[in-house]
Amino acid sequence: GGPGKAAGNVVEIWGGMGTQPAHDRHDGFHAFTDKEGGIKYLLNNQSGDWKQDKAYNIMTTALRNNEKIDMVYGHNDPMAYGAYLAAKDAGRDKDIKFIIGIDGLPDEGVTWVNNGQLTATFLYATPGAEGLRQAVKLLKGEKLEPVITLPTMLITKDNAPDILKKNGLL
């Protein structure tokens, strides 16, 4: 419905509660969703510990305790997929509008998006390669930028096949 018009019941499944990526993913999500008065959060900080089976159990409980779930946000793709499997096993996967994960690995999230099991995933670029590029610049005596933002990408059914082809998976 556009900014200020979003509404629905949301299940958020955290990664590890004590990890910075989980807090970053939670904070980034809430920076936008908290501005939407029509969104209701159904769980209080449930940690799936980055694992598919734990997310399955969390989602099973959420489905049992909530008649209507509109969106699931897993802090990684395996947890989003675990939530999808729980919804499918309960016969409610078609009732959920969006199941979203993070990481965008071709053999996990991108494949599940392509198969229609996840609605979307976001590429979570890891800093290793860029860290090495910056180290080389430093060794050459070049100036480093104080802040480097790594690129991300929304992966949907529209671009998932191309990503899978580029990675030799389709």
pTM of the complete model: 0.89
In a domain? residue 165: no
In a domain? residue 91: yes
In a domain? residue 98: yes
Q: How many domains does the chain have?
A: 1
Residue 53 has pLDDT above 70, yes or no: yes
Cα distances (Å, whole numbers) of residue 51 to 47, 58, 67, 131: 9, 11, 25, 27
Query: What is the structure's pLDDT at 127?
Result: 86
Would you say the C-alpha torsion 123, 128, 132, 135 has a positive or negative sign?
positive
Query: What is the structure's pLDDT at 155?
Result: 97
Query: What is the structure's pLDDT at 1?
Result: 66
The DSSP symbol for 144 reads P
Residue 2 has pLDDT above 80, yes or no: no
* % of the chain exceeding 70 in pLDDT: 99
Which residues make Cβ contacts (< 8 Å) with residue 157, sequence separation at least 6? 113, 114, 116
Q: Domain residues for 58?
A: 7-160
In a domain? residue 168: no
CATH code, 108: 3.40.50.2300
Query: What is the structure's pLDDT at 126?
Result: 80
